Amino acid sequence: MVAATLDRDKTYVEKKFQEKELKHLKVTKRGVNIVIYSDDEESGKDNRCRFTYVKSGQYILNMANHKGKWEPTPFKGTLEELLEMVIEQFPWTLTDYYREEI
């Protein structure tokens, strides 16, 4: 049951990133986590944030620090709520650091 929920929610995040044109971000499922990261040829993998499933459609948000290690936040809610929070209130966590500007 949880695996099906995580699969559905992973797909939701991928579609949301497509809509927002956040093509540099990747989404994977690890255990009860939906992990957001970028993968650049030069710098390698950069963790951004993760949503940890706790129960009944509720997740906890963790953010990666400057070394890529997970730091807890006080935020708990549905995946939709937390993803919207990250997009709207913490957009720098989703920035494409390596995109060349013209």
**Could you report the per-residue pLDDT of 90-100, keeping only the tens digit for each?**
999 999 876 65
**Mean residue pLDDT across the chain:** 92
Instruction: Enumerate residues 6+ apart whose C-beta is below 8 A from 3.
Output: none
Give me the residue spans of the domains in the chain: 2-94
Distance from C-alpha of 93 to C-alpha of 75, rounded to nearest angstrom? 15
| Per-residue pLDDT at 38 | 93
Predicted confidence band at 102 (pLDDT cuts at 50, 70, 90)?
A: very low
**Could you report the per-residue pLDDT of 74-88, keeping only the tens digit for each?**
999 999 999 999 999
Least confident of 35-49, 65-79, 80-94: 35-49
| Per-residue pLDDT at 101 | 55
User: Which residues partner with 61 through β-bridges?
Assistant: 51
